[in-house]
């Protein structure tokens, strides 16, 4: 039998001091307070509340068939030992105005709740989560989850995803993380999470960045944190993207254009003529696209260059006035561009905000 030599308190103190200088302090479990944590669950539809006619029909089903309260009640009595859970219906995520409304609803819920869990369809879950990450004003935990299978089929993943999300929310361990995504037992940063498969349960991944942590039963394991945590407790933790100060009905139109050989520039011209204030280009523009982009840049349209590969980064946009998305995916870059243009139209300010909030980094 092997033996482990006890580590002296002096050595532990030295290790603690060294680590304190190298990494930011992660939030620990919430301080003890009377009663169970209050978690508000907001449902916005999607597969997690879908119902199939056959228990073996994983792909054909009626989405958004059940109220979120039914799914939550199906997790009792086990859930009652974790948190005091309330439910509410939110707007379905079909338009940017729905995102706007949901962001305000989440902040209202956090006035009395300790954390919020949002359930959503997975098709654009990553964009919804990133919008909330950039706009929610409260530093309390916000978790977005969903499912790949409807509620009544064999091996439905929705109940486990929702239960784990509530466990994570109740732990309050992700305070100041911004919004996180929780599916398949894994915790991912909203900025980095992306859907990689239309079928597999492990569809949401962070690719190059990796997961933030995991939820295994009652064990919440955090392995790293988003860079914004270094501003926890400071006014600078909040972004300038406060939707309560934006005109809901005048959110700037932003579009995405894909690049490929012989791609025409007509779509870019048409978007600009239709009133688009910003365009994200996914991939290297064709000659026709490049010509159209130069023309719309001259008319005040903001252009962002991203990659269509799903990983890697664009550091140099290759043209004057075009902003690089770096490793921000095109669909995420569009969200950031929309919110940026809703708060400023000055080119220098747009570039600064895109650089700071699009690629948050640890500064020490």
Catalytic residue numbers read 47
For residues 231 and 19, give the distance between their C-alpha atoms in angstroms, rounded to a whole number: 18
Distances (CA, A) of 164 to 75, 99, 138: 11, 24, 22
Segment (H or E) for 193:
none
Segment (H or E) for 207:
none
* Cis omega (within 30 of 0) for bond into 121: no
Contact (CB, 8 A) for 93 and 128: yes
The token pair at 50 is: 């879908």
Q: Strand 322-324 and strand 302-306: pairing?
A: parallel
Distances (CA, A) of 18 to 15, 21, 23, 99: 5, 5, 9, 42
Contact (CB, 8 A) for 212 and 220: no
Query: First vs last Cα of the chain: how many Å apart?
Result: 43
Beta strand ranges found along 184-228 (DSSP E):
186-189, 194-195, 204-205, 213-216, 219-222
């Amino acid at each position: 039998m092997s033996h482990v030599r006890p580590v002296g308190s002096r050595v532990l103190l030295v290790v603690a001091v060294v680590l304190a200088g190298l990494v930011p302090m992660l939030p620990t479990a919430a301080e003890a307070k009377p009663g169970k944590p209050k978690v508000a669950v907001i449902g916005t539809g999607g597969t997690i509340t879908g119902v199939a006619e056959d228990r073996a029909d994983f792909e054909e089903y009626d989405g958004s068939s059940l109220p979120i309260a039914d799914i939550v009640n199906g997790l009792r009595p086990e859930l009652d030992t974790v948190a005091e859970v309330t439910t509410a219906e939110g707007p379905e995520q079909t338009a940017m105005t729905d995102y706007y409304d949901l962001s305000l609803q989440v902040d209202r819920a956090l006035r009395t709740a300790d954390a919020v869990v949002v359930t959503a369809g997975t098709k654009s879950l990553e964009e919804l989560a990133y919008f909330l990450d950039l706009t929610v004003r409260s530093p309390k935990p916000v978790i977005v989850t969903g499912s790949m299978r409807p509620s009544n089929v064999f091996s439905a993943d929705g109940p486990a995803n929702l239960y784990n999300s509530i466990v994570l929310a109740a732990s309050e361990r992700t305070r100041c993380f911004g919004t996180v995504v929780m599916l398949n037992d894994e915790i991912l940063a909203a900025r980095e999470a992306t859907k990689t498969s239309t079928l597999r349960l492990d569809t949401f991944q962070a690719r190059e960045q990796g997961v933030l942590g995991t939820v295994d039963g009652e064990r919440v394991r955090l392995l790293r944190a988003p860079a914004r945590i270094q501003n926890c407790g400071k006014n600078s933790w909040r972004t300038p993207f406060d939707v309560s100060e934006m005109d809901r009905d005048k959110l700037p139109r932003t579009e995405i254009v894909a690049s490929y050989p012989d791609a025409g520039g007509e779509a870019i011209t048409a978007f600009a003529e239709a009133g688009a204030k910003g365009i994200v280009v996914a991939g290297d523009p064709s000659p026709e696209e490049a010509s159209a982009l130069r023309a719309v840049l001259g008319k005040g349209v903001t252009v962002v260059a991203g990659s269509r590969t799903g990983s890697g980064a664009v550091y140099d946009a290759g043209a004057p006035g075009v902003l690089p998305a770096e490793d921000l995916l095109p669909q995420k870059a569009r969200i950031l561009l929309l919110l940026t243009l809703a708060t400023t139209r000055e080119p220098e300010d747009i570039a600064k905000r895109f650089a700071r909030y699009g690629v948050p980094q640890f500064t020490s």
